[in-house]
Amino acid sequence: MSAHGRSSRYGRYTGGPDPLAPPVDLSEALDAIGQDVMAGYSPERAMQEFLRRGGQQQRGLDDLAAQVAQRRRELLQQHDLDGTLRQVKELLDKAVLAERGQLARDVTMDDGDRALREMQLDNLPPSPAAAVNELSSYDWQSSDAREAFEQIKDLLGREVLDQRFQGMKQALEGATDEDRQRVDEMLSDLNDLLEAHARGEDTDEQFQQFMREHGDFFPDEPQNVEELIDSLAERAAAGQRLLNSMSPEQRQELMELSQQAFGSPALSQALDRLDANLRGLRPGADWSGSERFQGDEGVGLGDGTGVIQDIAELDALSEQLQQMYAGARLDDVDLDALARQLGDEAAVDARTLTELERALRESGYLRRTSEGDLRLSPRAMRQLGKALLRDVAQQLSGRQGQRDLRQAGAAGELTGSSREWAFGDTEPWDVTRTIGNAVLRTVGDGGDPSTGVRLDIRDVEVAETEARTQAAVALCVDTSFSMAMDGRWVPMKRTALALHTLISTRFRGDDLQLISFGRAARQMEIEQLTALEPWHDKGTNLHHALLLANRHFRKHPSAQPVLLVVTDGEPTSHLEPDGEVFFSYPPHPLTIAHAVRELDASRWLGAQTTFFRLGDDPGLARFVQSMAARVDGRVVAPELDDLGAAVLGSYLGSRDPGDPMSYDAFFGGRGFWVG
């Protein structure tokens, strides 16, 4: 209770996005998108796939679409379309039974007249429509029978109107002659308005006048004639699809019965005129579709038309949720319709997915190229790389000699000395000497350090460290089709991204060159490699990859060369002197010779070499073993899950053999050594 004695009520926020709602969590989505991108999906498709699958705590589009499909099946399996015919038959039987009773009780009636009436009742046709038509001029002796028969006409009138104007069946229950006259006037004015609009002769004043006189028939309050036509045509088309869904016998019965609506053929004529006008104004509406109802719950013309509209709305939702059309966005999903059909929880799920899609597009993690393609941004690549680096750290954490990767980028061991900070220094500050410098400067300037000191850039001193060797790293990854076929494509990309992240964040002085080699080799940026789609590249050109690696080493003559080669096959192609690619399987001796020559060049440049052999091919094992032995290199045969840890551990050991995070410390005794 408030201070003024009035209770407060709190409901769902309806003024747009809830300002108190927690922001959507992008981490799970970005991780899933990154994995799919490395598997060969485009970022756009990867994002759509995540939205379709959903997350651990979030239903996706596929779940919502399945629920929509289930709801559609339930409607078809629940209902039968002979509800109006059943009601007419029940009222007809009631009228005939009451009339027979009255004829039997009326002792004043002439026997001949009674016999004639009984004969007429006995010989009524089995068709309800024909029976109602035959009894339309019958002089009922029973007031109950007359009332039941009038109810048939009233029911038919309300049903055919409800088929075109939702809610009419209930609104006109117990209608008077004056009410029916108003309906006749509304239909006449409506048809005049639609026909004038078709000729281009209608005016805003004519529409406003129509709504002033008949607006209570249109609770959705259309704002102009186009909105009025849209609403009417949608309902009328659904009513026609309802008729199309009936058997020919049912349809014929109802067509004939509609002539008896309110006992006035004029109503049927006005509605036929309305249908014709709406078909002409909205020819693109679905006037010819049909559905197959299989239930036993009868629905009348009005309710059945509503069911057909529900099915149409579910079909539209299904298309929106499938997102298969050009330019599809989750903003297209009609949340109000989803709430009507599946409940508020489904609408909340869809809204969350919409916000997630919007956040992904606006967060800076995805960006458009000049060609219009969606790509992972450098920010997204950094976040994904950090996640992969954490995974590698967890793999390494249980191994002997492990060290926290967050400390791996230190510039070397501290010497105990310090020096004045200079631009570009990344060493840690010597806090004690820095503050001491600030105090001395304050005193020298005539200040009182007891009242506080302000640091100046001139005060800063950094801790000196031992110099560490700069490395020039070449990671050569096999991108032949066998890598994709045997499930090695994604681990290869994950390894490259983890190494790239480690070097770019912890060892900024090192220079990494990524080289892919299939039929030919090429230098690649990390964004290119992670987005590379697998394709049938026939050939493994190790010669070309080593040639590019040696070119990278020569560009950094003062750095320690580190050569890392990930492959699952023997070399089957090489570059000819004219630049053409030579391919041969089984491997040609000349191809092997070219690869050996470039590997020897790597050794002359001082490269520390590690081969990472994927797979159990004996020929590959012999080849890699002989190549590594030739240059005093290492061979590692890791499981795919350990590939990233193997490559990063080898890099760390190769760039600084005295580092406690060396290769031997991480992999000794693990069974990875092959030779």
In-domain check, residue 298: no
274 & 319 share domain: no
97 & 67 share domain: no
In-domain check, residue 496: yes
In-domain check, residue 673: no
Give 336's contacts (C-beta < 8 A, 6+ positions apart).
347
In-domain check, residue 203: yes
What's the domain range around 371? Answer: 27-79+314-376
Give alpha helix (H) positions in 507-541.
Answer: 526-530
Give 548's contacts (C-beta < 8 A, 6+ positions apart).
474, 476, 513, 515, 521, 522, 523
The amino acid that residue 593 corresponds to is: A
Q: What is the pLDDT of residue 415?
A: 60
User: Which tens digit of pLDDT belongs to each residue from 547-598?
Assistant: 999 999 999 998 999 999 999 989 999 999 998 999 998 899 999 999 999 9
Q: What is the pLDDT of residue 660?
A: 40
Tokens coding 649: 């551990």
pTM of the model: 0.63
In-domain check, residue 87: yes
126 & 253 share domain: yes
d(CA 550, CA 415): 35
Q: What is the pLDDT of residue 185?
A: 93
Q: What is the pLDDT of residue 74?
A: 93
d(CA 435, CA 441): 10
In-domain check, residue 210: yes
Residue 429 DSSP class: B
Q: What is the pLDDT of residue 210?
A: 94
pLDDT along the chain (675 residues), means of 10: 44 48 67 75 79 86 93 92 90 94 88 90 90 90 93 88 87 83 92 94 93 91 94 93 90 85 80 93 92 88 90 92 83 92 91 84 70 69 74 59 34 65 70 86 82 84 69 93 84 87 84 94 88 79 96 93 92 92 92 95 93 88 92 88 83 60 38 34
61 & 105 share domain: no
486 & 459 share domain: no
In-domain check, residue 194: yes
Cis bond upstream, residue 660 (ω within 30): no
Domain boundary among 292, 325, 352: 292
138 & 265 share domain: yes
451 & 477 share domain: no
Cβ of 580: how many Cβ atoms within 10 Å? 8
The amino acid that residue 329 corresponds to is: R
449 & 325 share domain: no
In-domain check, residue 6: no
Q: What is the pLDDT of residue 572?
A: 93
102 & 177 share domain: yes
Tokens coding 569: 């096959």
Name the one residue in this structure whose structure tokens are 């409940």.
Answer: 343
427 & 544 share domain: no
- Where residue 412 falls (left for φ over 0; alpha for ψ -120 to 50; beta otherwise) is left
357 & 400 share domain: no
- What per-residue string of b and e applies to 460-499 under the rule 16 or more CB within 10 Å gives b? bbbbbbeebbebbbbbbbbbbbbbbeeebbbbbbbbbbbb
Q: What is the pLDDT of residue 414?
A: 61
- Where residue 130 falls (left for φ over 0; alpha for ψ -120 to 50; beta otherwise) is alpha
Domain boundary among 404, 430, 465: 465
Tokens coding 593: 């010779």
353 & 499 share domain: no
| Total number of domains in the chain | 4
Tokens coding 300: 């009348």
